């Protein structure tokens, strides 16, 4: 049941037009004033739950908060459903389903079957096969109830066969979707493969996906999209962003050829462009990034939440593009613009997506030696619930956290923190080579009188990792080698980045 916290989140997420529509839909009557006052206080957002209870009790001694919250929630949800009613094919089909049932119950059978046919055509045209099956089964149910008016046996068999064909295709899509969901779960939770064991488990998924694909009898946008999405994500996880990008380009062509099938739900295209930009960044084809950034900016969101996500991703990739080009002044300006737009207010962005942006911001501030600000951002990541961010992002956050304290010369704290990180990574079985050599370097840094030797050890160990297919992907997430070389050469971090901008791997960040 909705409480004040749920209502507060819901009301804060409303766009200006949604708020206007809600007030227009439900002008407060004298008997409803309690709901209006409750809405006004929650919208302002400057009252605690306790103060709201007190104020409502003073204004309406007989009112009980729990039913008031429940009623306001129902009013808000009904208003949002009506507001979205004609904005998508699915909403139109849901409304038609209600209309069809009303028409049948009122005995207006001719119009009822006409609306069913209209809904079936719409569902089939837009590849909403689940809705097609719903209307088709409802049609047969009504025909049976009316003893099959104007229906011969051939027509009945054709309707049943169509249902069977689409049921099979829906089952195929569901099997394919299950594999893709499992793959993306591993991607978001674990990141790129880091060992032979993880690689073998990933390859097993690829074989299973291939077997499922071989059973396909009917092509559709959804089935083709799932296959290409699976392939692109697999190659990205297995350390082949070049192949991933190639598949993403095929996927982009598929989307552009079938725009009518996703135009009312462009979130899928937003994530597709995000994937393309991520791969371009990883393989250092930065000259192609502005084109796809522009494509991302041109996407027309169908909801305020998607608008916020799109703007967030635009900043995310702009920041990556600028840092990769060594344009740190522009990157800093972009970072501050993002903070002004997003960090000063509550935004509806997935926690891992937000944490990845915080890591990228932390890298920018680390690069300009604003270690206090970088530490603040990293702490925000590390304080995020572990279930909401990827283990790879968490590990990178812990490593950057250690390097920040090294720069701040908090050596007493480093002694404790190194042990803590090592213990946690061992326990979670995430102590891979990059983590081991970084912790070993930090131990040498603290124990060796000649710290240049510790830096030389770290630089050499990192250079060897470039040849490791499992580890070199993670090296692209943070400029470890550039940082070490800056210390060895007694050169500012930014200058090292500019000298190496055209010859070495650029800086990247964890995947969102």
Is the pLDDT score of 503 beyond 60?
Answer: no
pLDDT band of residue 22 (cuts 50, 70, 90) is confident
Predicted local confidence at residue 501, as pLDDT: 41
Comparing 492 with 145, the larger pLDDT belongs to 145
Tens-digit pLDDT profile for residues 278-323: 889 888 888 899 999 999 999 988 777 888 899 999 999 999 999 8
| Distant-in-sequence, close-in-space partners of 201: CB < 8 Å, separation ≥ 6 | none
For the ranges 56-70, 75-89, 287-301, the lowest mean pLDDT is seen at: 56-70
Is the model's pLDDT at 457 over the cut of 90? yes
What is d(CA 198, CA 192) in angstroms, rounded to the nearest whole number?
9
Check whether 180 has a pLDDT greater than 50.
yes
What is the average pLDDT across 480-504?
A: 70
Residue 78 CB neighbours (<10 A): 13
Under CATH, what is the fold of the domain 350-512? Answer: 1.25.40
DSSP 8-state class, residue 74:
H
The Cβ of residue 38 has, within 10 Å, a number of other Cβ atoms equal to 23
Q: What is the mean pLDDT of residues 463-467?
A: 83
pLDDT at 500 over 50: no
For the chain, what is the largest distance between any 2 Cα atoms, rounded to a whole number of angstroms? 95
Evaluate if residue 80 carries a pLDDT over 80. yes
The residue assigned the tokens 């493969």 is 193
Summarize pLDDT for 418-427 with one digit per residue, the tens: 999 999 888 8
**What are the residue ranges spanned by the domains of the chain?**
4-83, 89-151, 350-512
């Amino acid at each position: 049941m909705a409480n004040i916290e749920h209502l507060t989140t819901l009301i804060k997420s409303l766009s200006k037009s949604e708020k206007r529509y809600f007030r227009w839909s439900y002008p407060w009557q004298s008997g409803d004033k309690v709901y209006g006052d409750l809405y006004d206080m929650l919208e302002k957002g400057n009252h605690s739950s306790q103060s709201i209870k007190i104020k409502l009790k003073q204004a309406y001694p007989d009112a009980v908060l729990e039913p008031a919250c429940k009623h306001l929630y129902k009013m808000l949800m009904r208003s949002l459903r009506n507001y979205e009613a004609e904005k998508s094919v699915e909403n139109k089909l849901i409304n038609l389903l209600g209309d069809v049932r009303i028409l049948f119950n009122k005995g207006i059978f001719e119009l009822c079957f006409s609306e069913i046919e209209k809904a079936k055509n719409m569902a089939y045209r837009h590849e909403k096969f689940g809705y097609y099956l719903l209307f088709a089964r409802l049609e047969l149910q009504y025909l049976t109830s009316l003893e099959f008016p104007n229906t011969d046996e051939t027509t009945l068999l054709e309707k049943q066969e169509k249902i069977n064909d689409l049921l099979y295709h829906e089952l195929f899509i569901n099997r394919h979707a299950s594999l893709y969901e499992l793959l993306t779960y591993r991607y978001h939770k674990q990141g790129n493969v880091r060992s032979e064991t993880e690689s073998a488990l990933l390859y097993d998924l690829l074989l299973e996906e291939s077997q499922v694909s071989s059973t396909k009898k009917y092509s559709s946008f959804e089935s083709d999209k799932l296959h290409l999405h699976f392939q692109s994500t697999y190659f990205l996880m297995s350390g082949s962003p070049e192949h991933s990008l190639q598949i993403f380009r095929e996927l982009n062509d598929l989307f552009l050829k079938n725009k009518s099938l996703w135009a009312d739900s462009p979130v899928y295209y937003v994530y597709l462009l995000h994937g393309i930009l991520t791969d371009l960044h990883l393989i250092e084809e930065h000259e192609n990034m502005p084109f796809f950034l522009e494509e991302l900016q041109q996407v027309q969101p169908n909801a305020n939440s998607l608008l916020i996500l799109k703007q967030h991703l635009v900043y995310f990739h702009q920041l990556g593009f600028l840092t990769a080009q060594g344009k740190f002044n522009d990157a800093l300006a972009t970072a501050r613009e993002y903070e002004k737009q997003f960090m000063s207010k509550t935004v509806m962005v997935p926690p891992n997506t937000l944490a990845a942006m915080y890591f990228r911001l932390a890298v920018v501030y680390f690069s300009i030696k604003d270690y206090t600000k970088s530490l603040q951002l990293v702490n925000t990541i590390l304080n995020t619930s572990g279930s909401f961010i990827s283990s790879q992002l968490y590990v990178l956050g812990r490593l950057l956290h250690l390097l920040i304290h090294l720069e701040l010369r908090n050596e007493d704290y480093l002694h404790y923190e190194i042990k803590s990180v090592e213990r946690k990574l061992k326990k979670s079985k995430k102590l891979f080579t990059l983590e081991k050599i970084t912790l070993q370097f930090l131990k040498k840094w603290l124990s060796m009188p000649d710290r240049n030797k510790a830096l030389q050890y770290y630089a050499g160990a990192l250079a060897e990792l470039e040849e490791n297919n499992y580890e070199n992907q993670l090296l692209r997430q943070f400029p470890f080698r550039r940082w070490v070389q800056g210390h060895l050469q007694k050169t500012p971090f930014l200058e090292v980045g500019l000298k190496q901008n055209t010859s070495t791997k650029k800086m990247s960040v964890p995947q969102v």
